[in-house]
Structure 1
Amino acid sequence: MTWSRALTEAARSGLTVERTKLTPLIAVRGTAGLALVIGLCLWRGDPSLAVSSAFGAFAAGLVTFQRSMRPRPVLALAVAGALAVATFLGYLAAAHLVAFVLLLIGWTFLAGMAWAIGPVSGLAGTQTVAIMLVTVTLPTSVLGALQHAALIFFGGLVQAALIVVFPVRPWGIQRDALADALAAEADYARRLRHDPVAPFDPAPLMDARLASQVTPRQAKRRPVQLHGPRGLAERVRPVLASLADPVVGAPLEGPERDRARELLGAAGTVLDAVAHAVRHAGPVRLPPEAMATLEVPATGPMLNGAARRAAYRLISLLADAVELTDEPVRATRATTEAERGHLLRPSVPKLVPVALRALHREARWSSHIFRHALRVAAVAAVGYLLGAALPFGHGYWAPLASVMVMRPDFAQTYSRGVARFIGTLVGVAVAGALMALVHPGVYASAVLALVCVWLTYLLMRTGFSVTSACVAAYVVFLLGIAGEGWQQTVEARIVLTLVGGLLAMLSYALFPAWETPRLRDRLADWLAANGSYALAVLDRYARPAEGRPRQVREALLDARAARVAWEESEARAEKEPVRPRGPSLATAKAVSAALATMGRVTMIMEAHLPDRDAEPSAGAAAFAAELRRSLEHAGRAVRDGGGMDWSALHAVGERWDAEEENEGVAPRAAGLLLDALDDLAEALSEEPDERHGAEWGTISHPQ
């Protein structure tokens, strides 16, 4: 993609306004917290303190709107504490330019590295830099700095208290995540009726698993509806795929296929009903037609072999899903020992070593997060010095604009930069016009600022340009409380925002962290993770008595994570203005399809794992051993552009199939796995590689 096209796409993305579900009650609650803080400070007769404390309450309320599974009061308090520390240190150093710039560089670097912990931590770090830059008043003593820091923390404390006292749809995010996963399963079941090998995006299941992680305190209060259905959704998916697959499950045509379609349609209906019950905390309502379909016909089972086993398993799982979801909504129980083993979310103090390990992993030159931290720290310092040199006042607005738009990847930084400038232009124009026409006093300015905050919270998910306009107007009215002239505010805000946005964009052009060169590594990681998943399943067939269920489960989770990492890298690389150094778009789609098929086939094998007392399969052991050797060579081929050779694996697979005379599920699934690996080799063989010339096309195919 050329620079001109990349910038055009970024601008279009930044100015896009999305239609989304609004949450007016939550917006009112967040605005009420800010109103309490401003009102108390104005009641004391100090408008400057009202302005200062408002930033803390606003930022603490802002972070609670992010998609985080942690309790909202904890988020508000944690962010308020970080804001208070940043405020205290910033006020102490603000009177000394050199000391403040050094503090700003170090603090901004740490805030940039916070993206390694997660997006919510990254946003919170950005807010702390913003509050450090917003030096509305300059205390002359340590006691004054402590007072302002206490006010900032008080704002977050008020927001946390309001969340506890006035809860709006408790467990709403967790309910939505689980309902989305069940709805995705329902859609998958319906698509399998017409496409027996339809793809499935595991992202909703991953979100549901993340939402199911709870702290010890949450574990005692979680509704029953949020316990069992997620695990059932995980177990339903491979059963659906196994039933629909024309090789392992029901034949492609005939009465068995018709019966499979009926069961898949009924499964979609049941899963949708369960999803609706979970989302709205109500009972499950099923149409009688779906219930009749899930009963064994009076004439006897119409399916045979693996398809019949999958059908019985599907009916049992759907019955369990309805039973678990139809429990009394208000009943609660503690998590089981198994759930504590892998679904327990660490508390905030216990999160410290986890965060330190995440920071250590990204503390390397090749990390895009490490480069982002260096980039944003340099831009913040340059922007602050440049803003101080310009004759506008409020020089901190230039680095503030840079910090707020900068993200670890190119597309978000540029799209947010455009959205920030356009939104600021609109916001200050509207607010400036109101200030000029109405000339509001202190209290009227406070009311207008609160209206802008409510709009910001309400329209949070519609687009960054919309929220930027609301925030820009909020700042104009907020500074009006302190008696700032609106003419100077509008002019300085527009010019310095433009300067800050240009600095952010220029920094990425001069010191990028492109995703395109990493595509081959991401692809190799996905192949390796899929291979580990397949090997874990094959080991269960080879040694049923020694199998560990957690081994297969962990391998599946790693495969999903590798797939998501590849898809995110591919999406970022498509928007970068760099010369292609990875697979082309067509090749990437073909490779993704092949690896997704590899994962689907492995999942089908997992759905028919043998019992512990089953006979070991020598064929599975030989196939797993050869697959392990072949994957090592294939991974190097993907990274370095060599050749893939699956001929030895084909030979082992043919012997296994002949030994079991095509009666077992695993040998047939192994044949499908080989087909997927052949598709992968074919897709990559057609991709020219400039680093290795014709070498990339020398992938051998089994005859």
Structure 2
Amino acid sequence: MSWSSALKTTARSGLTVERAKLTPLLAVRGAAGVALVVFLSLWLASPTLAVSSAFGAFSAGITTFQRSWRPRPVLALAVAGALAVSTFLGYLAAVHYAVFLVLLAVWTFTAGMAWAVGPVAGLIGTQTISVMLVTVTLPTSVLGALEHAALIAAGGVVQAALVVLVPIRRWGSRRDALADALAAEADYARRLREDPVAPFDPAPLMDARLAAEMTPHQARHRPVQLHGPRGLAEQVRPVLASLADPVVGAPTEGPQRQRVNDLLGAAATVLDAVAHAVRHARPVRLPAEATAVLGVPESEYALTGAARRAGLRLISLLADAVELTDEPVEASRAAQTGERGHLLRPGMPKLVPMALYSVRRQFTWSSRILRHALRVSVVTSLGYLLAHLLPYGHAYWAPMTAVMVLRPDFGQTYARGVARFTGTVVGVALAGAVVALLNGPAPYLSAALAVGCVFLMYLLMRTGVSVSSACVGAYVVFLLGIAGTGWQQTVSERAVLTLAGGLLAMLSYALFPAWETPRLRERLADWLLAQGAYAVAVFDIYARPADRRPRQVRDALLNARSARAAWEESVGRAEQEPVRHRGLSLATASAAETALSTVGHVTMIAEAHLPPRDAPTSPEAVAFVYTLRESLEPAAEAIRDHAPLDFGELRETWLRWEAEAEAEAPGVAPGVALRTADLLVDALDDLAEALSP
């Protein structure tokens, strides 16, 4: 993609206003927290302290809206503590210009590295820089700095307390994650009726698994509907694929295919009903048509062989899903039975070393996180210097814009740059017009207008960056008007400083980029290794059933999903970058992705028919697993080194397996393991062909 095309695409993306599900009650609660601290500070303290407290409550409120599975009060308290520390240190250093500049550079670098921990940690770091830049312009002493820091922390405490005291849709985010996973399974079942080898996106199941991570206290109090359906959805996935597949399951035409389509349609209806029950905390209501399809007596089944086993297994799993979800009682099944039944979420003592390890891993020159941290540190410091050289007051607009715009990847940085500038100019212009018409409103009126902007921001923040930037720009104008500062600055001056900060941010990425396109081959090699390890784990059970380990398939599957998610994220970034490919074009990447997705699909079908532990060992399958395992690392190295891939030895091993099976049982259809192994080798050959020079 050329630079002009990339800029047009990112600009269009940043200015897009999307339809989003609004959450007015959550917005009211967050705005109420800001209003509470602002008006109490105005009444009991001073306008300057009211501004500081408002920033704390506002930033803590933003954090509670982020997609995170940690308790919302904990997030609010974390951002409040970070804001209080950054503000206090900023006040201490603000009296010496050079010292503050050094502090700003060090703090922004640390905040940039926080993206290694996760997007929520990165957002918290960004918020601390923005608040530091604004609040240190308010005059005060060292003792006053302590008061400002304490009030900022108090703002976060108020938001955390409101989340606890005024719960809105308790367990709602976790219910939505599980319901989305079940609905994705239902959609998959419907698509399999039209396309028996339709792909499945595991992202909803990955989100549901993250949502299932809980503290012991949460696990003791969660509803029973959040206990079992996720595990059942994981088990339904390979059964659906096996039932629909024309090689392993039923033929493409005839009464067996009609029965399969009926079962898939009924499964989709049941899964949708379970998803609706989980999302809205209601009992399951099944249509009579689905019940009739699933209630056909076993003696009247038209299915045979592997398809019959998959059909019976599917009906059993759907019945379990309905039973587990039928009553939305509050007592958890885990508490009743004494089972843990949940994924343990690490507490803060364990989280700190994990975060430090994540940050330490990014200290390599090729890391996009390290480059982002260096970039944001230099740009923020430079923006602060340049803004002070311009004949305008309130120089924080330039560095604040830069730090809010910069992200670790190109697409978000440039899209946010355009959206931030456009939204800020609109918000500041509207707020400036209101201030001019009211001739500098009184502190209480300014506070009310600021709270109104906060409500709009919380309500519309998911519709687009430009909309939220307009609300934030107006909020800052009204908030500083409480203390009687800042409103005299013209809209044009703020627009110039905002434009300068945005241009600095975008120019810094062009001069010091962290392109994802050259890393596509590395990501593809990692995905091949993970997907191959999943296949090895599954076929190893066919080879040596007695040696199966309970977690070998599950752990390999989770690693394969993580590698696939990393690959898709990299491709998404690469598609927006204005650079030419270096050995892996997007067309080639698409073909390779199709081949590796087929590897996962075939392995998923094989997983649905694992043999019992007492099944005999298969020497031919042992040889196939050994050859597959040994071929993965050389293939991954070939992808990294732009060399051709060769799976000829694996094909020969499979041919020997097929010949041995034919000799043992002439004329008998091969088993599931042999048929899926054939499909697996075909998919790997397709990968080799896609990557051939």
Q: TM-score, normalised by structure 2?
A: 0.97
Conserved 8 A contact 1:94-1:138: no
Partner of 2:682: 675
Partner of 2:211: 211
Deviation at residue 639 of structure 1 after TM alignment: 0.9
In 1: Cα distance, 2:332 partner to 2:134 partner? 45
In 2: Cα distance, 1:524 partner to 1:111 partner? 31
* Residue 665 (structure 1) aligned with residue 666 (structure 2): no
Partner of 1:599: 600
Letter in 2 for 1:214: M
In 2: Cα distance, 1:37 partner to 1:403 partner? 26
Partner of 2:665: none
Deviations 1:560-611 (A, max 9, x none): 1111111110110111111221422222221111100100101111111111
Change (3 A) 1:138 1:443: closer
Match of 2:691 among 681, 684, 691: 684
In 1: Cα distance, 2:341 partner to 2:194 partner? 39
In 2: Cα distance, 1:250 partner to 1:336 partner? 41
Letter in 1 for 2:73: P
Deviation at residue 104 of structure 1 after TM alignment: 1.0
In 2: Cα distance, 1:606 partner to 1:485 partner? 64
Conserved 8 A contact 2:215-2:344: yes
Deviations 1:323-380 (A, max 9, x none): 0011333222447999859811112232101101111111111110111001001111
Deviations 1:545-569 (A, max 9, x none): 1111211111001111111111110
In 2: Cα distance, 1:545 partner to 1:11 partner? 58
In 2: Cα distance, 1:328 partner to 1:524 partner? 45
Conserved 8 A contact 1:282-1:329: no
In 2: Cα distance, 1:340 partner to 1:359 partner? 31
Most deviating of 98-107 and 453-462? 98-107
* Residue 77 (structure 1) aligned with residue 77 (structure 2): yes
Task: Give 1:166-181 correspondences, 5 Å limit.
Answer: 166-181=166-181
Conserved 8 A contact 2:184-2:204: yes
In 1: Cα distance, 2:490 partner to 2:453 partner? 17
Partner of 1:392: 392
Letter in 2 for 1:671: D
Conserved 8 A contact 1:626-1:652: yes
Letter in 1 for 2:443: V
Most deviating of 575-584 and 533-542? 575-584
Deviation at residue 438 of structure 1 after TM alignment: 2.4
Partner of 2:234: 234
In 1: Cα distance, 2:140 partner to 2:29 partner? 35
Letter in 2 for 1:27: A
Deviations 1:52-81 (A, max 9, x none): 211111000011001111111111011101
Letter in 1 for 2:691: L
Change (3 A) 1:622 1:339: farther
Conserved 8 A contact 1:388-1:395: yes
Deviations 1:402-451 (A, max 9, x none): 00111000010010000000001110111111111123221111111111
Most deviating of 438-447 and 548-557? 438-447
* Residue 486 (structure 1) aligned with residue 493 (structure 2): no
In 1: Cα distance, 2:655 partner to 2:613 partner? 26
Change (3 A) 1:120 1:335: farther
Deviations 1:460-489 (A, max 9, x none): 100000000011011111111111253415
- Identify unmatched segments of 5+ residues in structure 1: 686-696, 698-703
In 1: Cα distance, 2:53 partner to 2:108 partner? 21
Q: Secondary structure at the match of 1:483?
A: coil
* Residue 611 (structure 1) aligned with residue 624 (structure 2): no
Deviation at residue 41 of structure 1 after TM alignment: 1.0
Conserved 8 A contact 1:238-1:603: yes
Q: Secondary structure at the match of 2:504?
A: helix
Conserved 8 A contact 1:476-1:489: no
* Residue 314 (structure 1) aligned with residue 319 (structure 2): no
In 1: Cα distance, 2:55 partner to 2:209 partner? 34
Conserved 8 A contact 2:221-2:330: no
Most deviating of 465-474 and 486-495? 486-495
* Residue 100 (structure 1) aligned with residue 107 (structure 2): no
Deviation at residue 682 of structure 1 after TM alignment: 1.4
Q: Secondary structure at the match of 2:349?
A: coil
Partner of 1:519: 520
Q: Secondary structure at the match of 2:691?
A: helix
Deviations 1:14-51 (A, max 9, x none): 00000010000100000000011101111025111111
In 2: Cα distance, 1:96 partner to 1:300 partner? 86
Task: Give 1:73-472 correspondences, 5 Å limit.
Answer: 73-137=73-137, 141-297=141-297, 300-334=300-334, 343-439=343-439, 440-472=441-473
- How many residues are aligned here? 686
In 2: Cα distance, 1:145 partner to 1:307 partner? 71
Change (3 A) 1:358 1:140: same
Deviations 1:69-99 (A, max 9, x none): 1111111011101111111111111111111
Change (3 A) 1:71 1:626: same
Partner of 1:508: 509
Conserved 8 A contact 1:406-1:504: yes
Letter in 1 for 2:87: T
Q: TM-score, normalised by structure 1?
A: 0.95
In 1: Cα distance, 2:180 partner to 2:659 partner? 43
Letter in 1 for 2:280: H
Partner of 2:545: 544
Q: RMSD of the TM alignment (CA)? A: 1.6
Conserved 8 A contact 1:68-1:120: yes
Letter in 1 for 2:553: V
In 2: Cα distance, 1:384 partner to 1:198 partner? 53
Partner of 1:17: 17
Letter in 1 for 2:569: E
Partner of 2:650: 649
Q: Secondary structure at the match of 1:641?
A: coil
Partner of 1:701: none
Q: Secondary structure at the match of 1:488?
A: coil
Deviations 1:204-250 (A, max 9, x none): 10010011111122112111111100000000000000000001111
Letter in 1 for 2:394: H
In 1: Cα distance, 2:336 partner to 2:640 partner? 43
Letter in 1 for 2:156: G
Conserved 8 A contact 1:375-1:507: yes
Conserved 8 A contact 2:212-2:342: no
Deviations 1:483-507 (A, max 9, x none): 1253415333211111110110011
In 2: Cα distance, 1:176 partner to 1:82 partner? 30
In 2: Cα distance, 1:652 partner to 1:663 partner? 16
Q: Secondary structure at the match of 2:551?
A: helix
Partner of 1:473: 474
Most deviating of 256-265 and 212-221? 212-221
Conserved 8 A contact 2:227-2:342: no
Change (3 A) 1:489 1:154: farther
Change (3 A) 1:336 1:531: farther
Conserved 8 A contact 2:395-2:497: yes
In 2: Cα distance, 1:340 partner to 1:385 partner? 56
- Identify unmatched segments of 5+ residues in structure 2: 663-668
Query: Aligned residues: percent identity?
Result: 72
Partner of 2:562: 561
In 2: Cα distance, 1:43 partner to 1:540 partner? 71
Conserved 8 A contact 1:657-1:668: no
